[in-house]
Each structure stands twice: as structure tokens, then as C-alpha cells.
Amino acid sequence: MTARPSQPRREPLGDRLVVIGLGLIGGSFAKGVRELGLFNEVVGFDLDLPSRRQAVELGVVDRCAESLEEACVGATVIQLAVPILAAEKVLAALATLPLGEAVVTDVGSAKGNIVRCAEQVFQGVPARFVPGHPIAGSEQSGVTAAKSTLFRRHKVILTPPPGTDPAALSLVDTLWRALEADVEHMDVRHHDEVLAATSHLPHLLAFGLVDSLARRHENLEIFRYAAGGFRDFTRIAGSDPLMWHDIFLANREAVLHTLDAFQADLDLLRAAIEQGDGHHLLGVFTRARVAREHFGKILARRAYVDVMHSKDLIFLAHPGGSLSGRLRVPGDKSISHRSIMLGSLADGVTEVEGFLEGEDALATLQAFRDMGVVIEGPNHGRVTVHGVGLDGLKPPPGPLYVGNSGTSMRLLAGLLSAQPFDTVLAGDASLSKRPMNRVAIPLREMGAVIETGPEGRPPLHIKGGQRLTAMHYEMPMASAQVKSCLLLAGLYANGQTSVTEPAPTRDHTERMLRGFGYPVNVDGSTARVESGHRLRSTRIEVPADISSAAFFLVAASIAPGSDLVLEHVGINPTRTGVIEILRLMGADLELLDQREVGGEPVADIRVRSAQLKGIDIPEDLVPLAIDEFPVLFVAAACAEGRTVLRGAEELRVKESDRIQVMADGLQALGVNAQPTADGILIEGGPLGAGEVHSHGDHRIAMSFSVAALRASGPIRIHDCANVATSFPNFLALASTAGMRVAEEANS
């Protein structure tokens, strides 16, 4: 007998572990548990004598028993690691043995059959039976392949039936966790359905395809020319035939269910090919490609869904440097969202260029794909939207998840209120705290049926099939999102919908509707639409986002010796508050080559460093610079004298409370920054080094990166992952321009 390897020992969890079946899975389980010293003794049993011998020689078990009966004497835990159909027989044999308090568990890939079998042979499922399934197969097999680390970071699904003894469940759970597996608990039926779809069906297709091709008389030809795609697709046809034969017989019901659904989809693909329906094919292929990327990210634990929960991404920004050269920041976020929305609702194909490939705009894009719109790209900012017309959206398969994006949720709420199907709109942790009554209340007045979460927060449950009636709405706050939401609902409402705003806000929706040939009447502060018209597809060129350019406008202004040109920036007058405010502060900004592109004015902006001075920010400029205040506060901190902002309470309900979060960060750097209910007072002065928190807010993270240019030492900025929502290449562009900010190693 081999000596137990010298691993870190723990307190034993019990006296004896018995492993029945010493193949790859059983052997690895026994070896891992033995090395950790979780039991006083690990006993193995296998019908195959050489496997028993090898298991002892390789240190997989302490000893092997000669029979099942002998193995189970005095067992604390019995692990059944034999092929699924054999497990049914072993269970029947166990039912005849005196098992005392032993906990019985197994590793089968289907769970319904084993639970049914236990119920039969024990006359009711024993309370100390804990069905399990480690997802850690491999092309290797046998005890010689056993590895104590096989389950590390692999999923193990436990499917305790109702009535399972909690202590037994907890013991099995502890064992797998000790082997560093990611343990999950699931209902038996759900487990079998999920595995039928994600594992069993692909194996069936791979076995089936290879066999079908191999049986054709020209098979040699086929295999000779089979390229990488064939090899990748059929890799799993090399798996153990007997094991898979067992799995399909054991999980018959769930496999048939998923196979029928797939066969129906395959018939649709066949019909599309027969009828030359390229639209259907493109729809399936584009959705599949995105879905696969998405799953890939989930599998690698990088899902954008998880951004807020993922580990802290820290930016380390070093002081000094000046900015120079020519830069083009990514496409405008507001216009990118609208290009997908209106392109989808149009008749015909809309081509978009300069689309922002940031997570917010991608969330809108995905929402429309989920509603059946075929969208190609994005590919270097190019997107092709195959519009479905105003009444062509389809019910999405589940809730529409829009991540961090307030614009997506509020604009979609208007559109979805008028659809014939129900929808749910959900967002990430930050968006889930933001107010949605500002859209839910007026939409209800139009006849929409919307339920919000507590206190008017997301998620939004929108009931379809309502007839909306047009109305006039006086907005209580200056919000382009609320205005746009109601105008989009107005496309479907009976009569004329009009919205009056208390101050001008961005008018991209109005401009773009007209670009799609949809009449919009704007009279002073009131915009009106009527239903009954159509949108005609068009070409959209998205200018660079002035809200992203703003970081560089401030950076080059405050860093001595800077001279930078920002190319092709959108200068729609409802967005240029930042330019006006910076000019009032004494910034040196020049608008070059002003032109109009696709209904939006653009210019190149030259910015040179200048000594800024503190000002009282005119309140009428607030809505025109609403997203630029975090970085304007940095400008104020570097200015001579005091800057005062009032009338900006909206800043408190953005991705973070931007007044409080900026005040906290500036104070941490030694700046005198006093938050007020609707604004802030900032005394210009020296900036120190320090540690600040962006609270997952992209604009806060980038603003403090800019602040470092004038700090006396480095600034560490926490929670920066969401920079990808609006400005995915910020760090690269910042360093091209001359800033010294990067992700902190190992953050």
C-alpha cells in the first residue's frame, strides 16, 4: 500500500469514504478526498480487478474491497461512480445492505432516472441520498487518468429531492467544495432539461453527423476534405459510446423534448435555404454568433452582465504630461442608441457608420436582436439594421437586459408600452437604483400598463396589447430621455402626442425621426408627433461623442503645454454646454471646419492649455452639459477662484450620485468641494495624490484620470470597469494623447 501523500490535512469529516467504480471520475474523487485527509479511510470497489489493484498502487484509495457488501461496511459516505445504467443496479444491491447512517451520493449525468430508481428499490427516496453530477468529463478514462485536481473550478450540480436530510446534503456539498468545485443546487427535472440541451443534444448531433457521413459511399472524399470546422464540431464524437448510450436511455424524456424543438428549428432553416430566404439565415447566424460570444464571456467569467460584481478594476493615473496630436473619440452614445431603435422600426435596411461599440449601445442592439430584428455588426463601427417596420417587433424570449444604460431603459419603455406583447426591462445594480416613475407615470396616462419595482425603480414589467391615446405632457424635469420615451410611444398613440420641456435638452430623437422621413413638429419648447406615418430606412453617420471628447477638452485645458485636435465631434447646440462653460472659464477652444453630417452639425475642436478661472455656471447651460459635469468639476478644481453650480439636482440620479461622489473624490485629493442639494461649490487649488472611488460610474472614473494631470502624485481610481459602457478605448486614446493612466497590474 502506498503511503498517504503529505498534503495539508484537515479534521476528518467522517470515518470512511467508499467509492464504487474506480474510473476517471470515481478515481479522481477518491484521490482528491484522500489527499486532503477528509476521512480516516478511503475504500474503493470496482468489478474490474486490475482497476482495483492500480487504484491502490496509485494511491487513489487506502484499500479495495472484494465485494460491494464488504466495501460498504461502516461507510460514512458511499459515492456511486459507475455508468448510469449500472448505477441503477448498484442502488438495487445497496437497498439490500445494512447501510446504517451512510450518506449515498452519485455522479451520473442524468438525475431523474436515478431518483426514480432509488424511490423504487428503497420504497421511497432515502433522506440520506444526495444525487450529484460533476461536469468534468474528459476524453481520458480509467483509474490511471485519475487526478486529485480534476474538479477544481468545474461545476458540480447537486439535485436533492424534497425531503433530503440537510446534514447529508451539507456533507456532500462540503466534500465537493473541498475539491475546489463550484457547487450548485438544482431541481432534478431542471437539471435534466438543461443537460439535455447543452450536453446531450450536441453529443447526439456529433455522433449522428459523423456516422451519417461515414456511411455514405463517398466517405473517403468527404473526410479527406474535412477542415477545421468539421474537426471542431465533431470532437465529442470521440467520447465513450457505452457511456453515452446509457445517458440517452436514462434521460430519454428531456432529450426528446429538446430534440423536437431543435428539429423544428432545423426544418425552418431547411425551408429558408429551399426558398432562398437569406433574411432568415442571416437572422439565425447573427444571433447565434452574438449568443456564442456572450456564452464564451460567461464561461470565462467576463460577462458584461457581471461587470458590477466582478473584481475591482483600478485605474492608476500618474501626474504630469501634456496632450498633443489629433484624436477621434468613439461615436455618440445617444445617437448610437437611436440609430438602432429607429433603424429597427423602419421599413428597409439602415446602414450606420461610427456606431459606438460600448456596452450601453450594445445593450440596445441586443434588445432589438432579442425582439427578432436582424442586425449585422458592429464591425469597426459599421452596423446594418434590417428594419421590421413599426409593427414588426417580436416577443423577446425573456427579460430585456440593458445593463447600465438609462437611455436604453427609458426610451424602450415608451416603445414597448405600445407593442402587442409583454416585456420585462431589467438592468444592473446601478440602473436598478435609478428612477423610472418619470416615464412610467406619463406612459400610464397614455394608457400603458407598467409595473415598476419598489419606489418606481427597475425592473419594469410592461403589459402588451394596450391601445395608447395621445396626450400633451409638460415635463417636470429637463430630460431628453423622458421626452424621447413619450415621442416613441406617440408613434403608436391615437392622435397627436406633444411634450413640452422646461429647458432645451438634446434633440437627437426629433432630428433622427425626420431623417427617417417621419414628421415631427417642433414649436419652441414643444415637440409633437402623430401616429399613422412610417419610417423609411436611411444612412446614419454617427459623429464622435462630445461627452467623451469633454474629458480631453478639460485635460488639454488644464495640462500646461497642450495643443490637441479632436476630430469630427458632434456639436449639436443641445449638447455644447461644455464648450460654452469652458469658454466662460477662459478655455482656449476653436471650432474648425464646421459642417453638417446626416442632420447633425460636427466640427474639429482645437484645444490649447489655458489658465482657467472659477465662474457661476449659468443655470440654462445645465441640461446642455448634463453628462459633462464630473469633468467640469475637475476643471473647476484646477481653476483660479470659486466655481458655483446650481439647478443640477438631476446629477444625483445618474449612474451614481455625481454631486456626492465627485465631492468625496475631490475632497480626498485635498480640494475644497462642498456639495449642495442641487449643485456644488468648488474652490480651485492644488490637487494632492490619493485614492478615489468611481462607484461604477464611467464618467467619474474618467474624470479622476484627467485630474491626475495636475495632481502632486498618483491617483488610484476604484471600480472603473464601466468605462466600457461609453468609452471602451479610453485608456488607449488617453495614452496616445499623452496622459499617463493605465489599469493597475493585477487589479
Ligand X SMILES: O=C(O)C1=C[C@@H](OP(=O)(O)O)[C@@H](O)[C@H](O)C1
Grid cell at residue 225 = 476534405
Is position 699 an interface residue for ligand PEP (rule: CB under 6 A)? Answer: yes
Grid cell at residue 240 = 465513450
Report in angstroms how near the CB of residue 427 gets to ligand X at its nearest: 14
Q: Give 207 or 727: the residue with its C-beta nearer to ligand PEP.
A: 727
Give every strand in the sheet of 449-451, ordered side by side. 400-401, 423-426, 460-463, 449-451
CA 111 to CA 106: how far, in whole Å? 9
Question: Is 433 a known ligand-binding residue?
Answer: no
Contact 688, 712 (CB under 8 A): yes
Is position 405 an interface residue for ligand PEP (rule: CB under 6 A)? Answer: yes
Residue with cell string 449659468: 618
Which of 506, 511, 528, 710 contacts ligand X by CB under 6 A? Answer: 506
Q: If you write DSSP's letter for every residue of 50-76 in order, what string do you get?
A: HHHHHHHHTTS-SEE-SSHHHHTTT-S
Residue 484 contact partner, candidates ligand X, ligand PEP, none, CB within 5 to 8 A by sort of partner:
ligand X
- Count Cβ atoms within 10 A of the Cβ of residue 470 and give its class: 0-12 exposed, 13-18 middle, 19 or more buried: buried
Q: Give 192 or 359: the residue with its C-beta nearer to ligand PEP.
A: 359
- Note the Cα 624 to chain centre separation in Å: 31
Report in angstroms how near the CB of residue 654 gets to ligand X at its nearest: 6
Report in angstroms how near the CB of residue 678 gets to ligand PEP at its nearest: 17
Contact 738, 321 (CB under 8 A): yes
Report in angstroms how near the CB of residue 626 gets to ligand X at its nearest: 5
- Note the Cα 261 to chain centre separation in Å: 26
In the region spanning residues 73 to 92, those forming contacts with ligand PEP, defined by CB under 6 A, are none
Amino acid at 699: R
Is position 650 an interface residue for ligand X (rule: CB under 6 A)? Answer: yes
Question: Is 611 a known ligand-binding residue?
Answer: no
Contact 1, 63 (CB under 8 A): yes
Report in angstroms how near the CB of residue 658 gets to ligand PEP at its nearest: 8
Binding to ligand X by CB under 6 A, coded x per residue (else -) over 434-453, reads --------------------
Residue 479 contact partner, candidates ligand X, ligand PEP, none, CB within 5 to 8 A by sort of partner:
ligand X
Which of 110, 313, 480, 499 contacts ligand X by CB under 6 A? Answer: 480
Residue with cell string 473526410: 223
Query: CA nearest 516: which of 543, 539, 549?
Result: 539
CA 146 to CA 140: how far, in whole Å? 9
Binding to ligand X by CB under 6 A, coded x per residue (else -) over 598-627, reads ----------------------------xx
Is position 726 an interface residue for ligand PEP (rule: CB under 6 A)? Answer: yes
Other residues' Cβ atoms within 10 Å of the Cβ of residue 561:
12
Contact 725, 735 (CB under 8 A): no
Of the candidate spans 107-115, 130-138, 172-180, 477-485, the one that interacts with ligand X by CB under 6 A turns out to be 477-485
Grid cell at residue 377 = 455588426
Q: Give 134 or 630: the residue with its C-beta nearer to ligand X.
A: 630
Residue 506 contact partner, candidates ligand X, ligand PEP, none, CB within 5 to 8 A by sort of partner:
ligand X
Handedness of CA 630, 634, 635, 641 (dihedral sign): positive
Query: Among 46, 106, 428, 627, which one carries the catalytic annotation?
Result: 627
Of the candidate spans 97-105, 350-358, 380-388, 402-410, the one that interacts with ligand PEP by CB under 6 A turns out to be 402-410
Q: Give 361 or 715: the residue with its C-beta nearer to ligand X.
A: 361
Residue 627 falls in the annotated catalytic set: yes
Binding to ligand PEP by CB under 6 A, coded x per residue (else -) over 153-172, reads --------------------
Query: CA nearest 612: which of 638, 630, 632?
Result: 638
Residue 480 contact partner, candidates ligand PEP, ligand X, none, CB within 5 to 8 A by sort of partner:
ligand X
Question: Is 627 a known ligand-binding residue?
Answer: yes
What are 643's strand-pairing partners?
A: 682
3-state helix, strand, coil in the chain (%, to 5): 45, 20, 35
Q: String of b and e for 494-506 (b: at least 16 CB within 10 Å)?
A: eeebbbebebbbb
Q: Which residues does 700 contact at the CB level (< 8 Å), separation at least 6? A: 630, 656, 658, 661, 662, 665, 694
Report in angstroms how near the CB of residue 429 gets to ligand X at its nearest: 18
- Count Cβ atoms within 10 A of the Cβ of residue 316 and give its class: 0-12 exposed, 13-18 middle, 19 or more buried: middle
Q: Give 182 or 650: the residue with its C-beta nearer to ligand X.
A: 650
Is position 334 an interface residue for ligand X (rule: CB under 6 A)? Answer: yes
- Tell me the residue number closest to ligand PEP, measured at CB: 406
CA 414 to CA 492: how far, in whole Å? 10
Q: Which residues does 177 contact at the CB level (< 8 Å), separation at least 6? A: 183
Report in angstroms how near the CB of residue 707 gets to ligand X at its nearest: 21
Question: Is 338 a known ligand-binding residue?
Answer: yes
Which of 54, 481, 497, 725 contacts ligand X by CB under 6 A? Answer: 481
Q: Give 155 or 433: the residue with its C-beta nearer to ligand PEP.
A: 433
Residues binding ligand PEP (CB under 6 A): 360, 404-407, 627, 654-655, 699, 726
Binding positions for 3-phosphoshikimate: 333-334, 338, 479, 481, 627, 654
Which residue ranges are tagged as binding site for phosphoenolpyruvate? 333, 406, 434, 481, 658, 699
The contact set with ligand X (CB under 6 A) reads 334, 407, 479-481, 484, 506, 626-627, 650
The residues that are catalytic are 627
